[in-house]
Amino acid sequence: MSAGLVGSAAGGAGEAAGVGSSAGALLVVGDVITDIVARHRGPLAASTDTVAAIRTLPGGAGANVACWAAHWGGGEVRLLGRVGSDAAAWHERELAACGVRPLLVVDPEAPTGTVICLVDTSAAAERTLVTDSGASLRLTPDDWSDTLLDGVARLHLSGYLLFSAGSRAFVEVALEAARARGVPVSLDPASVGFLVELGVDRFLALVEGVDVLLPSLDEACLLTGLPDAEDAAAKLSRHVPLVITKLGADGALVARSGTVSARIPAVPATPTDTTGAGDAFTGAFLATFLTGAGPEDAAREGCRAGAKAVEAVGGRPPAIRPPGQHRRDTTPGGRG
């Protein structure tokens, strides 16, 4: 495996009350993306200018989950992803600054994936994504090594990995290795748009062996064909043993073996940017779950993290930077 390993950073900030170190590391595999976040007010003006506040930030569903998990818990968090040479060093620094141990494969051909996040500040800060996946979906089985599971207590996969042939093959190899080691696997479906293209039956076949699924409400409804959140969560939990459905401002549902066992209330928040809120939920859930907490308590921490995430711009928690280093010094190519 040709992954560039950047130093092992310390664990997270211990954000969740009562969360201690887990018995092993969390390995997240997923997308590492450069986010261009444009916050505008009201509809975009066709054929002319729309005033916006624009920032370039590190992102990617997989990378965001890893950063929130490190921020929320005390255990080691590792991230395997694929990036282009154009922004590899920047992403490595940003991940390490969030307490994540980066295991990045540098793609010799494709640039780092880029997402333009259009955030309408007058519409509950909802965002629309324009995506160029770039190198992020070019992981292949050659990028996997069974040694990646050494010391790992849980493997978490970003659903974006299912949306290209190479990374689907990677997922198959990783799942087989995890089963052989007895390492449990969780997955976040990631994108309604890509799920439509992939197909529901194909998705459900690909996630065979996953023990925890963390869909959004829209994803759960799409995957089951049911309009009701509780019905959809219950049905999904007949395919995957534990389903945590993220409901945004309505909290979350916990479903097991065909039954919804708990509805977790949301934590009140004033949205600034909803980018990465689901990733924050997933990261905090996994960090808490790894300590031995039950899924209900872990989902409560997920709701706390989601509320914190929507009150800030971008999909990451605050970074822990060395003295004298500021975000303006760590943008791709040194741009401020």
8-state DSSP, 89: H
Question: Residue 324's CB: how many other CB atoms inside 10 A?
Answer: 6
Bridge partners, residue 32, by sequence: none
Positive or negative torsion for Cα 178, 180, 183, 187 = positive
152/17 Cα distance (integer angstroms)? 23
CA 301 vs CA 60, 72, 73, 261: distances in Å: 21, 9, 10, 17
Q: Look at residue 331 in the predicted model and tell me its pLDDT.
A: 62
Number of Cα atoms under 13 Å in the Cβ half of residue 265: 3
Measured distance CA(317)–CA(76) in Å, rounded: 16
pLDDT in tens, the chain (336 residues): 444 443 333 333 344 433 444 579 999 999 999 999 898 988 888 899 999 999 999 999 999 999 999 999 868 999 999 999 999 999 999 999 999 999 999 999 999 999 998 988 886 667 788 889 999 999 999 999 999 999 999 999 999 999 899 999 999 999 999 999 999 999 999 889 889 999 999 999 999 999 999 999 999 999 999 999 999 999 999 999 999 999 999 999 999 999 999 999 999 998 888 878 999 999 999 999 999 999 999 999 999 999 999 998 888 998 875 544 555 445 675 543
Kindly provide the residue ranges of all beta strands, DSSP E only, lying in 181-326, ordered along the sequence: 185-188, 212-213, 242-246, 252-256, 259-264
How distant is the alpha carbon of residue 282 from its chain centre?
7
CA–CA separation, 256 and 235 (whole Å): 9
CA distance 119 to 108: 32
